[in-house]
Structure formats: structure tokens, C-alpha cells
Amino acid sequence: MTKRKERIDRGIKVRSDGIYALNSYREILYLAFPRLLPVVGLLAVVPFFSLYWQEVIASTAIYALLAVSWELLYMTGLISLGQSLFYGVGAYIAGALNASWGFPIYLTVPIATVGGGLLCALMLLPVLRLRGIYFAMVTLVLPLMFSRLVEATRILGGTNGLTGIDSFPNHWISFCLIQIALLVAFFGFRRLEGSDYGLVIKGINDNDRAIMSSGINIYWYKTQVLFLAGAVGCFAGAYGAHHDMFAGMPGFALDYSILPIAAAAVGGMGSFAGPLLGAFILVPLSEILRALGALRIVFYGLFLVFAVVGLPEGLFHFIRRKYEQIERWVEVDK
Amino acid sequence: MLGTIIIYGFINSSILVLVAMGFNLTFGISGVANFAYGAIYIFSGFLTWIFLNSLGINYLLSIFLTFVCTFLLGYLIYRFILLRVRGLSLSEVMATFGLGLAIMELFRYFDFVGVKYSLPVFIDGSVPIFGNYVDYQRLIIGIIAVAFAVAFYFFIHYSKVGLAFRAIAQDDVTALTLGIDPDRIGAISLALGSSLAAMAAIVILPLGTISVENGYEVLIDALAVCIVGGLGSSVGVIVAGLVIGYVQTLTANFFEPRWMILVSLAAMALVLVIKPSGLFGKQKELEERV
């Protein structure tokens, strides 16, 4: 008597799939609940946390922005092992403009976002033809090179970094800015994914030659995607520089590269919600583990291994399956 | 001056070649990612130190035991971690990198930091060559690097196992039809690569102290040499080791030693932009770019 697992979509999922068929609050709620969860969670629940945990959530949001930007690149088939490049570039631009030239904060952040995105896209332009592991290696090397360059040439404050950067006028502005930016990036990218544009970039990942033969310039699309992802990452960097009142070599450190990828691996790749979920699990987790001191990174590494090996599809896809489908064991016909 | 550069450049290149060989065997030749390589390198250093000083076993025996342990460690990593994510290149990288992180930080946690963590040199003393005094340990590194490079070439190109390594990297399904079990060969590749890391660690580490940061640097150096030489090429590793080694020595001589790590990073970036398959890589030439 052999059995197999059968998965069937829930009735409510099938009924509410077509937007025109919504005919009860239950169905509307079924659709709206997962989408409203991050909005309500970030804007209505987190402000009631203690100041310490609000700060933790703010730094979680920085990593989440990098993770969402990583996912956009991944969707296009560009695997980035160096998200810290974006963070570092954004932080240094905002820091240098503010600390050295005295630009006010409402100018440095937009300039760092757009200018940093352009700069990152320009830097990666020569390697756009690469794909897979080779592109990944370049992105791994670039931030390491930048931090060594800063160390060796002593430009931009050298190993001490840039200090004396203005902080945000008050706690609530800084807090709201990062949460809203995260939500805008997250829902914006989701919207992009659903449009024709998203279809093209996903096509580049699946079969770039087929897209080329449809008469679409894939390099131009890749450049645009790099700019978008870079701008989001640079915003995170610029925000981080003003938040910490510091921009320096730690911006190019491995933390900012590894954590977004780890978030994507834990949360599940292939959708923007996965990395977001992953970031909101991993960063608070590492905060809780801080009590363990140096052992924290050991647990962290092991957690990563278990997540990658034990749940390869990622947590988000697992939860989504439970939310949308019922599972049951059925007998296999002989 | 010239003599110094030639000799120390050669020794520096030998170190790079030794460090890169194990990584190349696993990642380059058989296409199995092992980003825990740096961790395995310092793991074998500390393990030898523990055998030698904490357990009081003699030097030769502890070296032998370290080889056995790292071989087993490599095999276990493949069997319990990599086998489950085989084929998903990003997951392979993530899983091994996470493991490497855990191993290295565990040593930091147990406070393996300080001058006392160093291995004894094989033979004390030095010998004059071209008017420079070169200590025996550095000479031994050069000799072992040359010997292993030659042996490595013949092993990869003429032995059955070596050919099987290249086979699973090119097409593991076809390899299976010819009676090569990709899982078994992958496990052997990781185990052998790990023992090569141990060999490099035991020969090189007596020059200084064993530190956790070493692990990260070793990974970058190994990656640089493999990328510049070309993944899947055994000659490439030697040439790339020589090029990067000499450029590093020149940089250290004419500028400052702290620029040295920049050389490997810049070489890696440059090669990836101009010729991503590396100087001698052939296998992946068609796959890497659109």
C-alpha cells in the first residue's frame, strides 16, 4: 500500500484568485491579510516597541533593503555576492557630501541614492556580459578591493572613516523614513515584477538568448536593473551613514554582503517576500544571540547551513504553500 | 636587490601555489564549491598544534593524524552538507561558507589567539643564496611546491581518479554512463582538497603564528590564483601563482607590504573583466558569457 502526498489549492484561494469574483469580506481578508501584514506590522506595531527594539528593527530594515535589492538582481540572473558595494558607496557619498562639503541631510540622501545607483551601474558595466558564478566573483571582489584601496591610499578618512556626519533631526523621522522606504521598495519591486518589465527581466534569467532573439537589448535592461538595485542599496548606505553618524570601511565589510544573501536563502528566493521575511528573522535573531558574545557568529553560520540544507525552498514558500493549499495522503493506483 | 626579488618572489609564488592547489582540485577541477577552504586551512594548523602541544604527540605523527582528520572532515562535509544541495551553485557556496564561518569563529571563541600558537619549523637555520640568507623552511616550501605541482599535473591528467574529477565537472550524467559515480568522486575530491589544505598549512604556518584572519586571506588568495589561472586548469594555477607572487613581491619591495593583498584582488577583477575563463581555462569558455 503506497501513498503519495497530494496538494490541492484551497477553495478560497481559487475563488479569490480572479479579482472580479471577490464577493465576501472573508475572501477580501484572505487576499489582503498577507499584504497588509508588513505594512501594519512596520508602521503600527513596531512604534510601540521599546527604543532598543525599535533601533533593532531599523537596522533590520537596512538589511532588508539590501536583501530586496539582491532579489531583484537574482531575478535577472545576476547573482551578487557583494551587496556591501552598494552600502559602502551610498554611505561614503552621503558621508563625504555631508561631512566634507556641508550639504544638508535632505540633499545628501537623494544624491547618494541616485548618484550611487548610477555609479554602481557604471562600475559593473564592463562585466554585464558575464553571468552566473563569474559575475558573482566580480561582485565579491569589488567591495573587498574598495576597502583595501581606502586603507592603502588613506583617502576618505582612511581606516578611521568619516566622522561628524549629521544625524537625523529626531528619532521618529529617522524611524519612519527607513520603514516607508522599505515598504516603497518592497511593493514597488513587486509591482515591477508583475508588469511586462518584470516578464522581460525574468526571461533574461531563464533564457537570455531567447530574449535577445526577440529583439530586446538585454544589456540595457541589465543596466537598468543594476541602477534600481544599486539605488536601493545606496539609499540603505546613505541612511546608515546618517543614522550611525559614521561612514567607513565597515561599510564594505562582509556583513552587508552575507546577511542579505543569508536572508534570501532562509526566507526563500524567487519572490521579494522571502528575503524580507528572512531579514526579519535573521537580524533580530543575531541581536538575541548577542548575549553569547563571539559564539554568536558560530551559531549564525550553523543556522545558515541548516537553513540551506534542511529547507532549500525557503521559509516563505513553505508558509505560502500552507496558506494556499491543503495536503493529504492518497493511495497510489496500482 | 635583484637576487632578493627573484628568491622571495619564487617563495611567495610557491606559497600561493600550495595554498591554491587544494582549492583548485575541489572548485576548479571537479566543480564542487568549497568556501570552507580557509577554515580547513587554519583548522589543520590548530589541530596539529593541539596534537603537538596539548596531547604531546611527536611532530611527524601529529602531521599524519592531521592529514587523516582533514581528509575525514572533507568527506563528511560532502556527505552531510554538499550532497543535499548538489547542483544548486548558490546553495553550495552558502552552505560551505556558513560552515567555514562557524569553524573559524569557534576557534576565536576558544581564544586561539596569540604568539604561542605557532608550529615549529622542520629544520632550523638558513643558507646563503645569491648573498641572501634564506631559511630552510622557505626552501622546503619552494621544493614541496615544485614537487607537488608536478605530481598534481600527472595526477590530474593521467590517473583514473584525476580524470574522473574532470569528468564530473564537464558533464556528470555522461560521467555516470561511463561508470563514474559523481557522488563518490565529489566526496573524494573534497577530502583530497582538504588534505592538500592541511599540507599547505603545515608547511607554510611555521613561518608565522596561526591566526583566524589567516583563514579569510587564504580563501581570497586561493580564489585569486584559481580565477586568474582559469578554473579547471592545473597549469594555470602554477602560472597564475608565479605572476601574482612576483607582482606581490615587487609591490612589497617598491611600495609597501600593505598593498600586497590589493594585487590579488585587482588581478582577479581584471581577469574577470577581460577573459573570465582565466589564462588557461577552457571548459567553461562558452558558458560564462552571453
pLDDT digits (tens, 9 = 90+) for B106-116: 888 887 777 77
To the nearest whole number, what is the mean pLDDT of chain B?
84
Chain A residue with CA closest to B266: the answer is: A145
A vs B, Cβ pairs < 8 A, gives 117
CA–CA min distance B283, chain A (Å): 14
Asked if residue B288 has pLDDT above 60, the reply is no
Average pLDDT over every residue of B15-31? 85
pLDDT tens digits for A214-253? 999 999 999 999 999 999 999 999 999 999 888 888 888 8
The residue that leads in pLDDT, A182 or B216, is: A182
- Could you give the number of structural domains in chain A? 1
Residue predicted with more confidence, B226 or A65 = A65
Residue A327: phi, psi to the nearest 5?
-120, 140
What pLDDT does residue A10 have? 86
What's CA B8's distance to the chain center, in Å? Answer: 19
Q: Mind telling me how many Å the CA of A131 is from chain B's nearest CA?
A: 6
**Residues from chain A contacting residue B101 (CB–CB below 8 Å):** 297-298, 300-301, 304
| Residue A219: count of CB within 10 angstroms of its CB | 15
A289 in a domain, yes or no? no
Global pTM reads: 0.85
Q: What ipTM was assigned to the predicted interfaces of this complex?
A: 0.80
pLDDT for res A110: 93
Structural domain including A171 reads: 49-252
Range of the domain at B91: 15-212
Identify the bridge partners of residue B128 per DSSP, sorted by sequence position. Answer: B133
Partner-chain contact B93 A218, CB within 8 Å: no
Cell output for A112: 547618494
Nearest to B69 by CA among B216, B197, B231: B197
B6 domain residue, yes or no: no
Is the per-residue pLDDT at B286 higher than 50?
no
pLDDT digits (tens, 9 = 90+) for B216-226: 888 888 888 88
The pLDDT value given to residue A142: 86
> What pLDDT, on the 0 to 100 scale, is given for residue A21?
64
Q: Is A49 left (phi over 0), alpha (psi -120 to 50) or beta?
A: beta
Interfacial B residues in 260-279 facing A (CB < 8 Å): 261-262, 265-266, 268-269, 272-273, 276
Chain A residues touching residue B268 (CB < 8 angstroms): 137, 141
List Cβ<8 Å contacts ≥24 apart for B163-170: B165/B25, B165/B29, B165/B30, B165/B189, B166/B29, B166/B30, B166/B232, B168/B30, B168/B31, B169/B29, B169/B30, B169/B31, B169/B232, B169/B283, B170/B283
Structural domain contains residue B260: no
| 3-class secondary-structure state, position B284 | coil
Q: pLDDT at residue B290 above 50?
A: no
Q: Does A35 fall in a domain?
A: no
Span of A68-82, A186-200, B126-140 with lowest mean pLDDT: B126-140
Answer whether residue A310 is part of any domain: no
Residue from the list A144, A265, A299 with its beta carbon closest to the beta carbon of B94: A265
A156 Rama class: left (phi>0) / alpha (psi -120 to 50) / beta: left
pLDDT tens digits, one per residue of A101-159: 888 888 999 999 999 999 999 989 888 887 777 788 788 888 888 888 888 777 787 77
Q: What percentage of chain B reaches a pLDDT higher than 70?
A: 97
Neighbours of B250 (CB within 10 A): 13
Specify if B24 maps to a domain: yes
In angstroms, the separation between the Cα of residue A162 and the nearest Cα of chain B is 21
Separation in Å, CA of B102 to nearest CA in chain A: 4
User: What are the DSSP E strand ranges found in chain A?
Assistant: 3-9, 162-163, 246-247, 325-331
Q: Flag if B287 and A127 touch (Cβ within 8 Å).
A: no
Identify the pLDDT of residue B287: 54
The whole-number average pLDDT for the span A178-202 is 93
What confidence score (pLDDT) does residue B73 get? 93
Tell whether A323 is covered by a domain: no
Report phi then psi at A81, rounded to 5.
Answer: -105, 10
What's the domain count of chain B?
1
Q: Is the pLDDT of residue B141 over 80?
A: yes
Sorted by sequence, the CB contacts under 8 Å of residue A77 that are 6+ apart come out as A131, A132, A204, A205, A206, A208
Asked if residue B30 is part of any domain, the answer here is yes
Residue B167's pLDDT is: 84
For residue A113, is it within any domain?
yes
